[in-house]
Amino acid sequence: MSDCNGRSQQACHGYPVDWLQIGAGSLLVAYLLLKTQVNCSLQLIGLAVSRLVTFLIKPTLTATD
C-alpha cells in the first residue's frame, strides 16, 4: 500500500502532474476570460456603431417628413 495521501500516483512518484493540471486549468480560465472580454468588446462596438448610425440617419428621416 502506497503512502500518497490522496495525490495521484504520478505525483506520488515524483512526476509534476498536479502542477501541470493546475497550469492547464489556469490557462483554460484565462482563455475563457479573454474570450468573454472579446465578446463583450465586440458587443459594445456593435452597440456604439448602431447608435451612431441611428443618430446619423434619424435627422435625415425627420427632415424629409
pLDDT tens-place string over residues 15-46: 555 666 777 788 889 999 999 999 999 999 99
pLDDT at position 7 is 57
Mean predicted confidence (pLDDT) in 6-13: 61
With beta carbons less than 8 A apart as the criterion, state whether 2 and 11 touch: no
| pTM score over 0.85 | no
Cα–Cα distance for residue pair 37/30, rounded to 1 Å:
10
At 46-61, the pLDDT tens digits run 999 999 988 888 766 6
Cα–Cα distance for residue pair 38/30, rounded to 1 Å:
12
Q: What percent of the chain has pLDDT over 90?
A: 35
Cα–Cα distance for residue pair 5/49, rounded to 1 Å:
57
pLDDT at position 56 is 85
